Chains A and B, each alone.
Chain A
Amino acid sequence: MERSRTADPRTDAQLVSAVADQDREALRILYERHATWLALRLRRRCADPGMVAEVVQDTFVAVWKSAAKYRGDGEAAAWIWGIGIRRLVGHLRKRVPEPVPDGYGAVTTQQSAEDQVLLGVEHGELSGALNSLSPELRAVVQATVLDGLTTREAGRLLGIPAGTVKTRMMRARIELRGALA
């Protein structure tokens, strides 16, 4: 992929509004700026590379179709991620649940208060506490707190019932509180 395209002077937000006006070249530039990190980030949440590729494709087709819905408040990258993670959940729903990859250990979206607390502390007690959670609890924390998914979406992503997401989240809170006390 040539670097020249990513050097386009337009910002992501400008590109998205150009895409809303059916500017195909703008979509191409957006794709080149965002496809790789999106694929990598999705890859950490889905063990099947074929499905990741499908989700990335779907995401940019959705960007093409619904660019007009982007209101321009906030990062275009966050908007794209929001589409991507929900597409992934949608794809997983069509399939028999598969075990979550070990790599499912990290991420994020909206700047919720919880996020900021989590992310403000990069090294220290919190990161130690997070990393010491069991893989099951960590996956739930990542899906709900960091990926900003609802309990139901998180359940679909992880292939567990929504009720289980809730109880695991509760247990994770208790553990974190204990570790940070």
Chain B
Amino acid sequence: MNPWHADTALLDRYAHGSTDLASAASIEEHLLSCAECRERLANTADIDHVLPVGLIDAMWNEIADVVDRPHETLVERILHRVGVSESAARIVSATPALRLAWIGAVAIAAAFAVWAAYGSTHDPIVFLWFAPVVPLAGVATAFGPSIDPLHEVALAAPLPATRILALRTSAVGVTAGLILIPASLALPGFAAAWIMPALAVCALALALGTTMEAARAALVAGGLWVLAVPSWIWFSTAEPRRLAAQLALFGPTGQIFWVALTAIALSVVYLRREQFDFLAHQPGAAS
């Protein structure tokens, strides 16, 4: 094939970096097309001076490690792209509330709520009532031994429990928003008014989560919300009562109240943040 081959002495000198520019260039060009000389170079005597012993095998192990790694899921790849670390991306993407089945169920429920708001009553209160429950259900499953199949793994991850909780609740918030915001665009008037109450209820659940398990905390916060709307309607003195309740809960005053509640709840979360680690390590005490 090749009439010319580099002699062993020359390959030796090349391996040790003691050839001049011209002959090194010749060798390198020749190596690109000559498998025989490549192999002879690899077998050059005392190449260990240049490449540490075992380096070739060690490098292969690193390569094999990357090659054999399971494919990143779409969610992980997106998170990775925006700068989330690998381990954090995995923990977020394993959030129960980000599974396709869950997202599908939520989308169907949202469609149903939109339909209910349109079809029967022509006011959006059914949707506004339902919407905050969606992110809340996500938060309930964001952290805690009773629901999360990855709970033990998440605890072992090199991240504080609060960080995991924050990562997952924001992931849940983003997905819930992606589903609910288009749905609320389909509604007349008040449609976006659910966002502040939703934040408030989630923040309340997190605040309660510093004293009890996440799922239970979400149940309490969600229960308060679910009861608040019909009972407000029930006890309203103004007529029509539904509209009065809607104004009270979702109107300007209502929104200010939700902002305040969110702020208070989040400060509680911040002040008691160490409790998450404590609770996380005591699943028995939490259940």
- Interface residues in A34-61 (C-beta closer than 8 Å to B): 34-37, 39-41, 43-44, 49, 53, 56-57, 60-61
Q: How far is the CB of B34 from chain A (nearest CB, A)?
A: 9
Q: How many inter-chain residue pairs (CB < 8 Å) link A and B?
A: 128
Q: Is A126 interfacial (CB 8 A cutoff)?
A: yes
- A37: contacting residue among B42, B58, B67, CB under 8 A: B42
- Interface residues in A72-93 (C-beta closer than 8 Å to B): 75, 77-78, 81
In the complex, A12→B32 CA distance in Å? 11
Q: Which residues of B contact A146 (CB under 8 A)?
A: 25, 28
Asked if A35 and B28 make an inter-chain contact with CB atoms under 8 angstroms apart, the answer reads no
**Main secondary structure on A side of the interface with B:** helix
Q: Which residues of A contact B19 (CB under 8 A)?
A: 105-106
Q: Is A24 interfacial (CB 8 A cutoff)?
A: yes
- A39: contacting residue among B31, B39, B56, CB under 8 A: B56
Q: Is B20 interfacial (CB 8 A cutoff)?
A: yes
Q: Which residues of B contact A37 (CB under 8 A)?
A: 31, 38, 41-42
Q: What are the interface flags for B54-84 relative to A under an 8 Å C-beta threshold, 1 for contact and 0 otherwise?
A: 0111111011101110000000000000000
- Interface residues in A90-123 (C-beta closer than 8 Å to B): 103, 105-109, 115, 118-119, 122-123
Asked if B41 and A36 make an inter-chain contact with CB atoms under 8 angstroms apart, the answer reads yes
Asked if B32 and A78 make an inter-chain contact with CB atoms under 8 angstroms apart, the answer reads yes
Q: Is B85 interfacial (CB 8 A cutoff)?
A: no
In the complex, A34→B39 CA distance in Å? 9
Q: Interface size class for chain B? A: 35 or more
Q: Is B24 interfacial (CB 8 A cutoff)?
A: yes
Q: Is A138 interfacial (CB 8 A cutoff)?
A: yes
Q: How far is the CB of B69 from chain A (nearest CB, A)?
A: 10
Asked if B38 and A57 make an inter-chain contact with CB atoms under 8 angstroms apart, the answer reads no
With contacts A40-B41, A119-B26 taken as known, whether A106 is within 8 angstroms of B32 at the C-beta atoms is no
With contacts A40-B51, A115-B29 taken as known, whether A28 is within 8 angstroms of B60 at the C-beta atoms is yes
Q: Is A127 interfacial (CB 8 A cutoff)?
A: yes
Q: Which residues of A contact B22 (CB under 8 A)?
A: 106, 118, 122-123, 126-128, 130-131
Q: Is B3 interfacial (CB 8 A cutoff)?
A: no
Asked if B24 and A105 make an inter-chain contact with CB atoms under 8 angstroms apart, the answer reads yes
- B33: contacting residue among A34, A36, A75, A118, CB under 8 A: A75
Q: Which residues of A contact B28 (CB under 8 A)?
A: 41, 106-108, 146
In the complex, A103→B52 CA distance in Å? 18
Q: Is B229 interfacial (CB 8 A cutoff)?
A: no
In the complex, A6→B41 CA distance in Å? 14
In the complex, A35→B50 CA distance in Å? 14
With contacts A43-B50, A77-B38 taken as known, whether A56 is within 8 angstroms of B59 at the C-beta atoms is yes
Q: Give A115's nearest chain B residue, CB to CB.
A: B29
Q: Is B153 interfacial (CB 8 A cutoff)?
A: no
Q: Which residues of B contact A60 (CB under 8 A)?
A: 59, 63
Q: How far is the CB of B144 from chain A (nearest CB, A)?
A: 37
Given contacts A81-B32, A131-B22, 11 further A-B contacts (CB under 8 A): A6-B39, A36-B38, A36-B47, A36-B56, A40-B47, A41-B28, A105-B21, A106-B22, A106-B23, A115-B29, A127-B21
Can you report 18 residue pairs joining A to B where beta carbons are below 8 Å apart? A24-B64, A35-B59, A36-B38, A36-B41, A37-B38, A37-B41, A43-B51, A49-B51, A56-B59, A77-B38, A106-B14, A106-B22, A106-B25, A107-B24, A119-B29, A131-B21, A131-B22, A146-B25
